[in-house]
Amino acid sequence: MNPAYTPLPGYGRLLPANTAPLHPTSFEGWFFTAYAGALVVAFALPWELNCIRKRRDYLPLLTLCAGAITSLGEPMLDHVGHLRWANNLPGPAFSNFGLHIPALIPPCYMLFMGLEAYWIYTMIQRGINKRQFMWMFAAVGLSDAIMEHPGLAMHTYEYYGNQPFKDGLFPFYWSFTNGVAICTIAVLIHFVWPHVKGKGWMTLAILPLGIIGTTMGEFGAGFPVFLAINANMATWVQWVVGSLTLVLSVAWIRVLAEIVARETDVEWTFWGLFKARFMLPHQRERYIERKTRVGVPIPEGADVAKAPVPGTRVSA
């Protein structure tokens, strides 16, 4: 067993004794660190500082910091979700629960639990109907699967043991639970920000929303599959119990849509929402203009066209 993944005394032994260590190349380790979030965060940070300088808008930077704080929960998810890291990745960023967490994790969370949650928040502010909210959840889940596959293929990490809904590398129930978590964070921001905006230190109330929303979403929707893969039960029973996570996730998103959805003047499609996440700000603005229907009132405070898109290079 790889000593780097032997839990500290009191945490038990989760990995089987014959588990082979993972050995990505140095290039693969650094490539996935940049690909999983560090590169986008580096490009987005100047834009966020520019928002503060020009508009006194602290929310983008606060959501980015909230994502970094949320990464502290990664060891818990690694344990219950049976994920292990290679021991030669850049880092560690920190160690907890007997696990060494690589340097790629904080920027990865800053991208997905920070910038992507902010993008969804701006979509809610712009106006999005119930069906489009469900599509947005699906787009988030698909992008999560796309992001994870290269790292799994390069053996920077792996999901071990019996994993329901696994395509050989990636257990797709994570697309559901991660999507629930990110959308939940965005909805929390939607309700909290109007109460703290412009109120000095009270704006720091945004910082814990990442870890709160992630804990609610990942464990609230994911507990059936987490219980299943950590119990001594037949594989088919794990699949049956684990499938409840998919049902809970869809129901969760449906409830969020009921809470925040409203009429919109933009005729979003699933493919349009997915593409919009990878556009530069000016490209997305033109795209929204082309998709806007004439005669439908635009909700007040709409600024989605100015928001950066997770997974793209942004300019100040």
171 — phi, psi (to 5°)?
-80, 115
For residue 84, the surrounding DSSP H or E stretch is: strand 83-85
- Structure tokens, 158: 């792996």
Q: What is the pLDDT at residue 313?
A: 38
Contact 5, 78 (CB under 8 A): no
Q: Residue holding tokens 């967490």?
A: 101
Q: Residue holding tokens 């043991």?
A: 161
pTM: 0.85
- Structure tokens, 311: 């997974």
The rounded distance, in Å, linking the Cα atoms of 58 and 210 is 16
The rounded distance, in Å, linking the Cα atoms of 226 and 230 is 6
95 — phi, psi (to 5°)?
-130, 135
- Residue 87 Rama label (left phi>0; alpha psi -120 to 50; beta): alpha
The rounded distance, in Å, linking the Cα atoms of 163 and 173 is 9
Q: Residue holding tokens 């230190």?
A: 201
Quick one: the chain helix, strand, coil %, rounded to 5? 65, 5, 30
Q: Which tens digits make up the pLDDT trace of 233-260?
A: 899 999 999 999 999 999 999 999 999 9
Q: What is the pLDDT at residue 289?
A: 72
* Low-confidence residues in the chain, pLDDT < 50: 1-12, 17, 294-309, 311-316
